[in-house]
Amino acid sequence: MSSKGASVSWKELLPETVSKLEGDNAELEAKWMIEEVSGITEQSDYREKAKPAQLDRLNRLIERRLAGEPLQYVLGRWQFRELDLFVDRRVLIPRPETEVMVGYVIEECKSKKAQFGVETVLNVADLGCGSGAIGLSIAREVEGVSVWCSDISEDAISVTRANLAGLGMAGQKVSITQGFWFDALPEELLGKLDVIVSNPPYIGDDEELPPEVRDWEPSSSLRAGPLGTEDLSFLLKNSIKWLASEGTLFLEMSPKQSGEIVQEALDLGYKGVQLRLDLTERERVLVARKPL
């Protein structure tokens, strides 16, 4: 697309953009890219003329997409529940199954508040926060919570901080810390966390990943070690001492790991161990309560 003549409308550019992009979602992706570079949102605005700088940017986005970069990184943002999150290659792209897990966590927070009294402030930790998708959503959607978001990666922490800046008043409920799992948390939280939630790396070293994931997303967000369950097991073992009495742990995992992880939770003495389903009805989330 030439950026010279600036007299072309977005309506005229749309079919050209669609034809350049490949795949079943080309039309939707073309619209998202156009809306990203132009700032237009309504169908009627497509009559507006494109400016040369906007066209240049659109061309760059198309090139990146054609080079295989995931759409979310190309756009630089992605919707997660009620949040419009900034995302780039430093963090995992937040997934729909994680949105579902956050729904379960929010239900649990609301039920704990109903049980303990609405004035109670719940302590919640999102371990391995990446973009901040989980912890920031909880801060946004639940009243009376104190949320710790932590990650080992300095890069991820920078992205969480950028997303926290977009949270407005709800951002006051959030603390962000860096470190290896629980090492990132202040000692005074020991035995005081009402909810621990994590979507840790859970892919085994030998497991194949689609090229769009393998070549673009941070491997430190995906791979846990030879088995794939290393981080899940570590979090299960160590959450017990950090949870408050009746505190609840939520762990996202691969459905094929669910049997093993449930057994580990039972062996460790967790109560109320359950598996919750994702959007495709697969066992995706472990819920477990602190043993008394």
Ligand X SMILES: C[S@@+](CC[C@H](N)C(=O)[O-])C[C@H]1O[C@@H](n2cnc3c(N)ncnc32)[C@H](O)[C@@H]1O
Query: Is 94 an interacting residue with respect to ligand X (CB under 6 A)?
Result: yes
Query: Is 181 an interacting residue with respect to ligand X (CB under 6 A)?
Result: yes
Query: Is 130 an interacting residue with respect to ligand X (CB under 6 A)?
Result: yes
Among the listed ranges 8-16, 109-117, 130-138, 205-213, the one in contact with ligand X (CB under 6 A) is: 130-138
Q: How far is the CB of 65 from ligand X (least distance, A)?
A: 21
Which H/E stretch holds residue 211? helix 211-214
The token pair at 139 is 């801060």
Q: How far is the CB of 112 from ligand X (least distance, A)?
A: 21
- C-alpha triplet 200, 75, 58: angle, nearest 5°: 160
Among the listed ranges 30-38, 128-136, 187-195, 204-212, the one in contact with ligand X (CB under 6 A) is: 128-136
Q: How far is the CB of 176 from ligand X (least distance, A)?
A: 12
Distance CA 283, CA 145 (A): 27
Among 17, 38, 98, 229, binds ligand X (CB under 6 A): 98
Query: Is 247 an interacting residue with respect to ligand X (CB under 6 A)?
Result: no
Among the listed ranges 11-19, 65-73, 92-100, 114-122, the one in contact with ligand X (CB under 6 A) is: 92-100
The token pair at 92 is 């995992």
The token pair at 26 is 């080309």
Among 153, 239, 248, 257, binds ligand X (CB under 6 A): 153
Query: Is 203 an interacting residue with respect to ligand X (CB under 6 A)?
Result: no
Query: Is 220 an interacting residue with respect to ligand X (CB under 6 A)?
Result: yes
Burial of 1 (C-beta count, 10 Å sphere; 0-12/13-18/19+): middle
Distance CA 288, CA 292 (A): 12
Query: Is 156 an interacting residue with respect to ligand X (CB under 6 A)?
Result: yes
Which candidate, 162, 159, 151, places its Cα nearest to that of 198?
A: 151
Query: Is 221 an interacting residue with respect to ligand X (CB under 6 A)?
Result: yes
What's 5's DSSP letter? -
Distance CA 27, CA 132 (A): 29
Among 133, 174, 235, 261, binds ligand X (CB under 6 A): 133
Residue number, 120 or 220, with CB nearest to ligand X: 220
Cα 122 to the chain's mean position, in Å? 21
Distance CA 216, CA 67 (A): 11
**Footprint of ligand X on this chain (CB under 6 A)?**
91-92, 94, 98, 128-131, 133-134, 151-153, 156, 180-181, 199-201, 220-221
